[in-house]
Amino acid sequence: MNSVFMKDITWKEFEERKSRAVILPVGSTEQHSFHLPFCTDSAIAEGISEKLAEKIGGTVMPTLCYGYKSKPMSGGGPLFPGTIDLNGRTLISLAEDILEELCLDGVKLIFVNNAHYENEAFLIEAIDIVSRRHPEVTILESNWWDVLPQSVIDKVFDDVPFPGWALEHAAVTETSLMMYLAPQLVKMDMIPTETGFEPVPYHKYPIVKGMVPESGALASAKGSSAEKGKLITDTAVDEFVKIIERFI
């Protein structure tokens, strides 16, 4: 059986597959507290994309592993060494060039699977620019959190209250997803149960050390589990399939 990953196949195999969906996973290289690696968003995007491609016979592009910078109230990545961020115009240009190349190659359906909260506006801008030039190509964009029904959210947050998606950084959902998709990368003994973080209804710049907890986690990861990660993954994949099937 051929790999679903574009990096593993030849140009001839890609040529034969291009009538089916091509999936572009997009993540980041950002701190995710003491217990999760820099690649968390990218690993989640790629892991979910792989399972989606297996269901629909699609092809997974090489993962875009750099993303837009997080605000302090949704990650605070720039405050921590090792986080590598792109400026908004850079992310737009990068995504635009990738999507343009796919369109020129004759791909007719592209699914952009974003797993970094801050990326979306810039990805949508790139999609809009390319779509104006290539109206014959369907380009879809979504993420794993927006497609979760309330019933799944309730099951995932059975130990701690749901803090809102902006604060779910290195918390229950991302920790659970990594425990399921890449358990070897999770430092189980470092999972935070309390952060003491109190969000404020404004943004202040320049950002300075101390605006987010020293650990880098914004909310508790108490109750995280591989089972919850599988539930989130399976639900997201099923919902993505429904979205894609509307346009096949």
Return the active site residues. Answer: 30, 32, 41, 116, 118, 169, 174
Give the separation between CA 110 and CA 52, rounded to whole angstroms: 13
Confirm if 244 and 57 have CB atoms less than 8 A apart: no
| Nearest one of 144, 143, 105, 102 to 126, comparing CA atoms | 102
Confirm if 100 and 133 have CB atoms less than 8 A apart: yes
Residue/partner pairs of 128-133 with CB below 8 Å, 24 or more apart: 129/92, 129/96, 130/96, 130/99, 130/100, 130/103, 133/100, 133/103
